[in-house]
Amino acid sequence: MENEKLSLPNYNIPEDLEHVVAITTIDRLYNWGRRSSVWPLMFGLACCAIEMIAAQTARYDMARFGMEVMRPTPRQADMMLVSGTVTKKMLPAIIRLYNQMPEPKYVVAMGACASSGGPFKEGYNVVAGIDKFLPVDVYIPGCPPTPQALIAGMIKLQEKIDKQSIKKVRWYQKGREDANYVPMPILGPDLIDVRRNAEIKQAAAVKEGA
Amino acid sequence: MATPLTATVDLVARFPDSVSADARPGYTGFIVKKENLVEVATAIRDEFGYDLLTAVTGVDYLAENKMEVVYHAYKTTGGTGLIFKVQVDRVDPVEVPSLYDIWAGVDFQEREAYDLLGIRFTGHPDLRRILMWEGYDGHPLRKDWKEPFFEEEAKPFKSRWPDGQHTFAENKNPFRDNLSFPAGFDPEAYQPENEDDLYASLERFRSKGADDALKTDHIVVNMGPHHPSTHGVLRVAITLDGETITGLKPVMGYLHRNHDKIGERNTYLQIIPYTDRLDYFNSMSNNFGYVTTVEKLMKIPVAERAEYIRVIMAELSRIQNHLIFIGMLMNDLGTMYTPSLYAFEERELVLDIFEAVSGARMMCNYFRFGGVVRDIPDFALQKIKDLVYERLPSKTDEMERFLNENEVLVARLNGMHVLNAEDAIRYSVTGPVLRAAGVPYDLRRADPYSIYDRFDFDVAVRYNGDMMDNYLIRFDEIRQSLRILEQALKQMPEGPINSQKPQYQVRVPAGEAYGRIESPKGELGFYVVSNGKPNPYRYHVRPASFVNLQAVEKMCVGAKIADFVALLAMLDIVMGELDR
């Protein structure tokens, strides 16, 4: 209980109980638990995944931050590390994995491709950034980011978790069920984002008229 | 031993009516009439002995209104290849006879040409799209097909240069996104294509018991694209009889990053960093293959010191690739983490060297036409020497001592059949898997490039073709690479590191070239067609992983599902290269 982040400083605890009792808020307690065991989804897309593996190995040892438990199933994961180029063909699988993750769930876009499409942005099969579909918490620049950069990004995520309040986080809000669920895109003549159906129909009609 | 630049076979004399020499300036090989393709190809394999068909690709000659399919055939005994081509009119449906019955190794490559160029290979047993999904609009590598973010035919784009007053590609697209739909498309009424064709292509298990026996049915299992053991985003559809695999089809394209199309827009120099991201474990090898090919077209020499630096980097890359292979194989077999942590420890030391010479750990972007971009700093050279002479040999011994006689490992790997030599050649498998099946085919010896003919080394070869041999051959190759490195470090002369001046735009004469190197995973080939402009007309990568994967069905049918992951690991695939 000596963790200063947990105990609130302005309560006087009797001396003999100092190491046994902590007085704190529910937010602090939740955040303390969450930030200390962010379990990433074991999920590699491209080159960045190799640096993600390197960050787990002896030299960089991400386990120091409580993030070493890679979970292959989304049901046990807290954080999706989008490590690589998101292609249109892969996107439905990524969305499905995200939808299957229980909250709290965080998304980290690792590298240029996941953040914006990166060097492959102009490619016909490339989604220019995962943030077009998923709410991204932290972007990590680099192509690929070094393990140090990845760990710096993870620490940023922990800082973000520290500031959260269960009253305000999007996944506990009434009427914000959409925050936990992203509608599945469809692979058609091109990637169909079903939230933009009306826009697609209109643009296709304009094209026909032209 | 210098090998002749062109094949010595005279196909025209053998087939005067159906074959003519390719007389276009800068081109080599033979043009075969479409009607006689199967007959000529059979003769090439059976009479002339070109048993290994490595590369098949299409080229869209829009101005001449032709589609061309280019085949590169080689002998597994070594030597230069035979290039033959078929030209057909560019009128849909574009049809070329499939050579699947002659070389099964054309399977995926013909499917790729169908997917990206719309060339239909008649007689192909399973002609489906391979990289894009069924229902995708158009064939992207056709020259008249434009991607949604299309700006201009060639870089540098005017919108980004020279004043820096750029406009975003999004602003030019009606969706402000990387999307394009055919006119009049209605997303609400759209029915996505189902995957019946994929499942129909699988070998179905039917109950073969007697009439009174229990009737059983097949089970279809889909592994991936999110699966921790498929080495990336590969998906495999498998049919099972109990636990035995009866049919298997890989489904890929989940990391298709449009390497070829982007490459055709890029200038020659701009492609080098993209090749880094093909096989992202071995950016040095990829650079090597690409610059070798373009140097062939440009007909420029390579600086002597740079040749040695290239070999040193490529062999270091091979060592760290094989270390990862061994570590990841152990992961796949269930010894989670400990061996791979040891492997990664050594890999980090190699990456330190890459970072010291190029500035990046993984994406080195280190080679240039005529040489390399900068010299090896003295401290890095000392690091290389320490690694090569001291650390890596002892660490390899250590890993072998700890792993090779492990009882569980031996029980799991020994006698577990992977591929025999005939099947490996038939499916165009190259690299360690072919050599573990007893075929001593290593491009560093079979068709030497760069300065590999100066070094004294053995081609690692093993003869059983089982998993144990496939595993041990990686250690053999590490030792041979160390031998090459020792000699290269001793022989490396002082001098300039590039035969050319540093330049942003290179002049590449019109013509075609196919360059290939022995990458750690097999033959890595680049097929480049130049029309004299600053960017390539056609740029095609022949990746080792993609072609080797063709044999996966042959390898796995009859094995248990539990061994699938280990068998797949033997091929050492990497998705960046497989899907491009």
Quick: pLDDT tens for A25-58: 888 888 888 888 888 888 888 888 899 889 988 8
Residue numbers of chain B with a pLDDT score lower than 50: 1-6
As a whole number of angstroms, the longest Cα–Cα distance in chain B is 82
What letter would DSSP give residue A12? -
Cα three-residue angle B397-B401-B402, rounded to 5 degrees: 120
Q: Kind of pairing, strands A106-110 and A138-140?
A: parallel
Which one-letter amino acid corresponds to residue A29? Answer: L
- CA-CA distance, B382 to B352, in Å (whole number)? 12
Give the B window 107-136 contacts with A, CB below 8 Å. Answer: 131-133, 135-136
What phi-psi label fits residue B367: left (phi over 0), alpha (psi between -120 and 50 degrees) or beta?
Answer: beta
Q: Which residues is A186 bridged to in the sheet?
A: A192
Q: Which residues is B206 bridged to in the sheet?
A: B217
CATH classification of B259-509+531-579 is 2.30.30.240, yes or no? Answer: no
- CA-CA distance, B80 to B298, in Å (whole number)? 19
Q: Which residues is B499 bridged to in the sheet?
A: none
Which residue in chain B has the smallest CA separation from A186?
B192
Per-residue burial over B514-530, b if 16 or more Cβ lie within 10 Å, else e, is bbbbbbbbbbbbbbbbb
Contact predicate B567/B467, CB 8 Å? yes
Higher pLDDT, A205 or B271: B271
- In chain B, where the domains are located: 11-122, 259-509+531-579
Contact predicate A51/A144, CB 8 Å? yes
Give A4→chain B minimum CA distance, Å: 34
Which one-letter amino acid corresponds to residue B579? Answer: D
Which residue in chain A has the smallest CA separation from B173?
A203
Contact between B137 and A42 using a beta-carbon 8 Å cutoff = no
- CA-CA distance, A142 to A153, in Å (whole number)? 11
Contact between A188 and B261 using a beta-carbon 8 Å cutoff = no
Contact between B363 and A143 using a beta-carbon 8 Å cutoff = yes
Q: Which of B410, B437, B401 is nearest to B421 (CA)?
A: B437
Give the A window 20-79 contacts with B, CB below 8 Å. Answer: 42-47, 49-51, 53-54, 57-59, 72
Out of B132, B140, B175, the one facing A203 most closely (by C-beta) is B175
Give B188→chain A minimum CA distance, Å: 7
Contact predicate B22/B30, CB 8 Å? yes
B-chain residues near A126 (CB < 8 A): 178, 257-258
Contact between B362 and A205 using a beta-carbon 8 Å cutoff = no
- CA-CA distance, A26 to A47, in Å (whole number)? 40
Mean pLDDT, residues A117-135: 89
B385 is written with which tokens?
Answer: 């020497």
- CA-CA distance, B58 to B69, in Å (whole number)? 4
- CA-CA distance, B415 to B562, in Å (whole number)? 16
- CA-CA distance, B67 to A193, in Å (whole number)? 35
Give the B window 360-389 contacts with A, CB below 8 Å. Answer: 361-363
For residue B315, the model assigns a pLDDT of 93
B-chain residues near A208 (CB < 8 A): 183-184
CATH classification of B11-122 is 1.20.1630.10, yes or no? Answer: no
- The interface predicted TM-score (ipTM) is 0.87
For residue A210, the model assigns a pLDDT of 60
Q: B388 Cβ partners below 8 Å, 6+ apart?
A: B482, B485, B486, B489
Contact predicate B261/B141, CB 8 Å? yes
Contact between A123 and B258 using a beta-carbon 8 Å cutoff = yes
A-chain residues near B179 (CB < 8 A): 190-191, 200
Give the B window 162-191 contacts with A, CB below 8 Å. Answer: 169-170, 174-175, 177-188, 190
Q: Is the CB of residue A192 less than 8 Å away from at least one CB of chain B? A: yes
Q: Say which residue the tokens 């595993």 belong to.
A: B471
- CA-CA distance, A98 to A79, in Å (whole number)? 9
B143 is written with which tokens?
Answer: 């020259």
Out of A54, A119, A190, the one facing B137 most closely (by C-beta) is A190
A-chain residues near B258 (CB < 8 A): 120, 122-126
Phi then psi for residue B240, to 5 deg, are -125, 140
Out of B137, B177, B256, the one facing A189 most closely (by C-beta) is B137
- CA-CA distance, B575 to B277, in Å (whole number)? 10
Dihedral angle sign, alpha carbons of residues A126, B358, B473, B515? positive
For residue B2, the model assigns a pLDDT of 41
Disruptive mutation site among B255, B348, B575 for chain A (greatest number of A CBs within 10 Å): B255
Q: Which of A129, A59, A72 is nearest to A101 (CA)?
A: A72
CA dihedral A185, A190, A196, A201 (to 10 degrees): -140
Out of B185, B258, B575, the one facing A125 most closely (by C-beta) is B258
List the single range of A151-155, A204-208, B157-161, B450-454 with lowest mean pLDDT: B157-161
For residue B321, the model assigns a pLDDT of 93
Q: Is the CB of residue A202 less than 8 Å away from at least one CB of chain B? A: no
Quick: pLDDT tens for A61-85: 888 887 878 888 899 998 999 998 9
Contact between B136 and A97 using a beta-carbon 8 Å cutoff = no
Contact between B181 and A190 using a beta-carbon 8 Å cutoff = yes
SS3 B321: helix
* Residue A3 pLDDT > 80: no
Out of B185, B265, B361, the one facing A189 most closely (by C-beta) is B185
